[in-house]
Amino acid sequence: MKIKSARFIMSAPEWQKCPKPTIPEYAFVGRSNVGKSSLINMITEKRDMAKTSGTPGKTQLINHFLINEEWYLVDLPGYGFAKVTKTIRENFDNLMKGYIANRDNLMCVFVLVDSRLEPQKNDLDFINWLGDNGVPLAIIFTKADKQKPQHTAANIDVFKSVLLQYWEEMPTYFVTSAEKKQGADEVLDFIEEANKRFGKFIV
């Protein structure tokens, strides 16, 4: 898929205030600093569409971007900040639960995982939570340029083996680098395919 247009639509504090679910939607989520803004900017070919927030974790908004006048890209708040208050964590949980449970046009949640790290508990918890709730998901390993390809591959193998303790198969995954512009085409092709299925399950 080629990006013809990409523009910010709105930020919503809760799913009820999101745009009408008339077109397919794809959400991006991950731990703070995983490279989410960089990835979104890479796949939309805009230098600063998804701005890096000054104070991570503070503003928890659901950000909608309209791509090719055809589908929504959604930038969700990050999780797993080292020190957030209980209130912020509960807000995140409520926001996410409401969004996931009610967003009828949500085709896939892309969970971003830092390719350099060993499996992190909060990533695994989040992925398992999506799975338990029947939400279609794909994993995006980020920052692959920061190490040798074989190192990335080894880390993904470890991640797989941990996930396979809970899952029957490894979800679809992508290896990306915003720095080297790697992986954008694959993610966009996946979205293009999924877009074709939209409408088949919405009444």
Q: How far apart are CA 200 and CA 149, in angstroms?
A: 39
Binding mask 17-36 for Mg ion (x = CB under 5 A): -------------------x
Examine residue 37 and tell whether it contacts Mg ion (CB under 5 A). yes
Examine residue 60 and tell whether it contacts Mg ion (CB under 5 A). no
Least Å distance between CB 172 and ligand GTP? Answer: 19
Q: How far apart are CA 115 and CA 110, in angstroms?
A: 14
Which residues contact ligand GTP (rule: CB under 6 A)? 32-38, 52-53, 56, 78, 142-143, 145-146, 177-179
Instruction: Quote the tokens at residue 128.
Output: 């398992």
Q: How far apart are CA 133 and CA 109, in angstroms?
A: 12
Instruction: Quote the tokens at residue 125.
Output: 């918890």
Q: Max Cα separation, the chain? A: 47
Least Å distance between CB 26 and ligand GTP? Answer: 16
List phi, psi (to 5°) of 153.
-60, -40
Examine residue 105 and tell whether it contacts Mg ion (CB under 5 A). no
Least Å distance between CB 38 and ligand GTP? Answer: 3
Which residue, 28 or 71, has its beta carbon nearer to Mg ion? 28
Decide if 25 contacts 19 (C-beta within 8 A).
no
Which residue, 37 or 44, has its beta carbon nearer to Mg ion? 37
Decide if 23 contacts 105 (C-beta within 8 A).
yes
Q: Which of Mg ion, ligand GTP, none does residue 74 bind to, with CB < 5 to 8 Å depending on kind?
A: none
Q: Which of ligand GTP, Mg ion, none does residue 140 bind to, with CB < 5 to 8 Å depending on kind?
A: none
Least Å distance between CB 180 and ligand GTP? Answer: 7
Which residue, 36 or 64, has its beta carbon nearer to ligand GTP? 36
Tell me the angle at which helices 36-44 and 184-195 cross, rounded to the nearest 10 degrees.
Answer: 70
Least Å distance between CB 79 and ligand GTP? Answer: 10
User: Which residue from 63, 71, 52 is spatially nearest to 4, judged by alpha carbons?
Assistant: 71
List interacting residues with Mg ion (CB under 5 A).
Answer: 36-37, 52
